[in-house]
Amino acid sequence: MKIRVILFGTLSKSYPVHDPVYGMEIEIPDDSTVGDLISHIDLPAKKFGMISMDGQLVKAGNPLQENAVVRVFQPIFGG
């Protein structure tokens, strides 16, 4: 299935095909989860903060849906 992944902050620097507005399209096997997608794009767990799919916050075990838009946000630090 095809998934659109949009990476925010500095996360996109490791992916030359990532467009800042449209992200990148990923082909992943059917029945994959959000965790499978993160592993597929080789994004270390310490690099991201939260993930949304079609506007809803999701966790690693959530199943992906065909043509979903997954947004991955970097952790926010400060004080």
Pick from 45, 58, 34: nearest CA to 26: 34
C-alpha distance from residue 58 to each of 11, 35, 51, 71 (Å): 18, 10, 6, 10
Q: Which CATH superfamily is domain 2-73 in?
A: Beta-grasp domain (3.10.20.30)
pLDDT tens for the chain, 79 residues long, are: 999 999 998 888 889 999 989 999 999 999 999 999 999 999 887 788 899 999 999 999 999 999 999 999 988 766 5
Domain ranges of the chain: 2-73
The three-state secondary structure class of 54 is: coil
Tokens at residue 79, please?
């004080």
